C-alpha cells in the first residue's frame, strides 16, 4: 500500500483527492492536512464522507509527515509547496504539487505572473511537468511533479497534435475558455457568491491570466519554438467543468479525415483522452466527475481556420485525477487505478 499525505485536504482540489484516493486499491490516506479544521473529523468538513472517512484533520511540520508517508500531495495556494521542499524531504518522499510553483521552468516568468518570490528555484530544473499523456516516461522517474493547471491541461491537450505536427500557424492561436466556479477554490470571495455567479457570465484576467505563460511554454516545447498566444478565461454558473474553444489558421489545406488521423496518432491509445466523432462537440456534462478530456474539431474552409474544442472536469483531469494518474506512474501502478470514474449525467 502506498501511504499518502495531503496538505490542503479540505480545499476543493484536496477534497477531490480524498474522494478518488478513498477508492484506490493501492493507496491509503494517512494524513488529512488542514490548519483551519485541526482535530475536526474530516467527515465533519465534508459530510459526503460520513461513514466513509473516519480520520481527523491534522497539521504538523513536513519533516514529520515525510517520515510517515511515501507521497505528499500539496493542494495548497501558490507559493506554499516551494516554501516546504528541500533536498532532505525529496530524498524521503515523492511530491506532487497541484499548485503552479514548479510548472514554469523560468523563475523570472513565475515571479512576474504570480507576483511571488520563488522559495526554491533550485528544484525547477528537476521538476517534471505532469501532463501524463505527453510526459509519461519522465513522470515515471520523478521525485517532484508539477501537476498542470485545469485550463492549461484542457488547452494544451486540445491543441497539442496540431502544434506538434506543424499544422497551424501558432501566431494566430486564440484560446477562449470557460470554467465552473469550483475552479476558484472553496475560500470565501465576493466574486464567487451565488448572486454574483448565478445567471451571469464574465471574462476575467483578460490578457494577463497566469495560465497564459504555462500554455505558451508547453506548446512551445511541442512546436520547437517560442509561442505567444491569447488566452481569455470566463467564469460560468456551473459547479465543475472547463470548456475551451481554440482558433488558429491552418498552414495548408487539410481534410477532416487527415486531421482526425493526426489526433488518433497522439490519442488513439490514450484511455483518458476521447477524440469525438465528426460533428459531435464536447460538453462539460459528458466528462463531469471523470478523468476524461473530450476533444473535437471543425475545419472552417471559409476562413481557413481550424476550431478545436476541449472539455474536462477541472477538479478531476484538471487537478486531483491527473495528480493520481501521476502518482500511479511514479509508483509503477496501472495508470488507470482509481480513475475509471464514469462521467455523471445529468
Ligand X SMILES: NC(=O)C1=CN([C@@H]2O[C@H](COP(=O)(O)OP(=O)(O)OC[C@H]3O[C@@H](n4cnc5c(N)ncnc54)[C@H](OP(=O)(O)O)[C@@H]3O)[C@@H](O)[C@H]2O)C=CC1
Q: Which is nearer to ligand X, 4 or 168 (CB)?
A: 4
Residues facing residue 307 across a β-bridge: 247, 298
Q: How many CB atoms lie under 10 A from the CB of residue 111? A: 14
Our answer to whether residue 154 is catalytic in this structure is: no
C-alpha distances in Å from residue 301, one per residue of 197, 262, 306:
37, 18, 8
Select from 177-185, 228-236, 268-276, 280-288 the region that touches ligand X (CB under 6 A).
177-185
CB of 50 to ligand X, least distance (A): 19
Length of the chain: 346
Binding mask 50-79 vs ligand X (x if CB under 6 A, - otherwise)? -------------------------xxxx-
Using the contact rule CB under 6 A, the part of the chain among 36-44, 134-142, 176-184, 220-228 near ligand X2W is: 176-184
Question: Binding to ligand X by residue 135, rule CB under 6 A?
Answer: no
Q: How many helices (H) and strands (E) does the chain have?
A: 12, 13
- C-alpha 39/C-alpha 32 separation (Å) is 10
Give CA–CA dist 289/339, Å, rounded: 10
Cα(132)–Cα(111) distance, rounded to whole angstroms? 26
Write the CA distances from 198 to 61, 177, 202, 222, 238, integer angstroms: 40, 18, 11, 38, 8
Q: Which is nearer to ligand X, 98 or 229 (CB)?
A: 98
Binding of ligand X by 289 (CB under 6 A): no
The rounded Cα 58 to chain-centroid distance in angstroms is 25
User: Which CB, 114 or 247, lies closer to ligand X?
Assistant: 114
Select the residue interacting with ligand X2W from 55, 107, 116, 184 (CB under 6 A): 184
Helix, strand, coil tally for the chain in percent (to 5): 35, 20, 40
Q: Counting contacts by CB under 6 A, is residue 150 touching ligand X2W?
A: yes
- Per rule CB under 6 A, count of chain residues that contact ligand X: 29
34 binding partner (options ligand X, ligand X2W, none; Cβ < 5 to 8 Å by kind)? ligand X
Q: How far apart are CA 201 and CA 25, in angstroms?
A: 40
Under the binding rule (CB under 6 A), the answer on residue 235 touching ligand X2W is yes
Q: Taking the complex as a whole, how short is the minimal distance between the CB of residue 56 and ligand X, in angstroms?
A: 13
In the complex with ligand X, the residue whose CB is nearer, 170 or 314, is 314
* CB closer to ligand X2W out of 49 and 150: 150
Say what the alpha-carbon torsion angle 323, 326, 331, 333 is, to the nearest 10 degrees. 100
Shortest distance, CB of residue 145 to ligand X, whole angstroms? 13
Query: Three-state DSSP class for 32?
Result: strand
Q: Choose which of 2, 4, 5, 12 interacts with ligand X (CB under 6 A).
A: 12
In this chain, which residue has its C-beta nearest to ligand X?
11
Cα 286 → chain centroid: 18
Judged by the rule CB under 6 A, the positions of this chain that interact with ligand X2W are 99-100, 149-150, 179, 183-184, 211, 233, 235
Active site residues: 150
Judged by the rule CB under 6 A, the positions of this chain that interact with ligand X are 7-8, 10-14, 34-37, 75-78, 80, 98-99, 149-150, 182-183, 185-187, 314-315, 318-319
Amino acid at each position: 500500500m502506498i501511504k499518502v499525505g495531503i496538505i490542503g485536504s479540505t480545499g476543493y482540489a484536496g477534497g477531490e483527492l480524498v474522494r478518488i484516493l478513498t477508492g484506490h486499491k493501492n493507496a491509503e490516506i494517512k494524513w488529512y492536512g488542514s490548519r483551519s479544521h485541526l482535530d475536526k473529523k474530516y467527515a465533519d468538513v465534508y459530510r459526503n464522507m460520513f461513514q466513509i472517512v473516519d480520520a481527523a484533520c491534522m497539521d504538523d511540520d513536513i519533516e514529520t509527515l515525510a517520515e510517515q508517508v511515501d507521497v505528499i500531495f500539496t493542494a495548497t495556494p501558490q507559493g506554499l509547496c516551494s516554501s516546504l521542499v528541500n533536498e532532505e524531504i525529496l530524498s524521503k518522499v515523492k511530491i506532487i504539487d497541484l499548485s503552479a510553483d514548479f510548472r514554469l521552468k523560468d523563475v523570472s516568468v513565475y515571479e512576474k505572473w504570480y507576483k511571488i518570490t520563488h522559495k526554491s528555484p533550485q528544484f525547477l530544473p528537476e521538476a517534471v511537468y505532469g501532463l501524463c499523456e505527453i510526459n509519461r516516461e519522465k513522470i515515471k522517474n520523478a521525485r517532484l511533479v508539477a501537476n498542470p493547471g485545469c485550463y492549461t491541461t484542457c488547452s494544451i491537450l486540445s491543441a497539442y497534435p496540431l502544434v506538434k505536427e506543424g499544422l497551424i500557424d501558432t501566431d494566430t492561436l486564440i484560446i477562449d475558455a470557460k470554467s465552473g466556479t469550483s475552479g476558484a477554490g472553496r475560500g470565501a470571495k465576493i466574486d464567487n457568491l451565488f448572486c454574483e455567479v448565478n445567471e451571469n457570465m464574465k471574462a476575467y484576467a483578460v490578457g494577463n491570466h497566469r495560465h497564459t505563460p504555462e500554455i505558451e511554454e508547453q506548446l512551445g516545447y511541442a512546436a520547437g519554438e517560442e509561442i505567444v498566444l491569447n488566452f481569455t478565461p470566463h467564469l460560468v454558473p456551473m459547479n465543475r467543468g472547463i470548456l475551451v474553444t481554440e482558433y488558429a489558421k491552418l498552414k495548408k489545406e487539410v481534410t477532416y479525415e487527415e486531421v482526425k488521423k493526426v489526433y488518433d496518432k497522439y490519442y488513439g491509445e490514450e484511455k483518458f483522452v476521447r477524440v469525438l466523432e465528426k460533428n459531435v462537440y464536447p460538453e462539460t456534462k459528458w466528462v463531469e466527475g471523470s478523468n476524461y478530456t473530450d476533444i473535437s474539431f471543425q475545419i472552417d474552409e471559409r476562413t481557413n481556420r481550424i476550431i478545436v474544442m476541449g472539455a474536462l472536469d477541472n477538479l478531476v483531469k484538471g487537478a486531483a485525477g491527473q495528480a493520481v494518474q501521476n502518482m500511479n506512474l511514479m509508483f509503477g501502478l496501472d495508470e488507470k487505478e482509481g480513475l475509471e470514474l464514469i462521467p455523471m449525467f445529468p
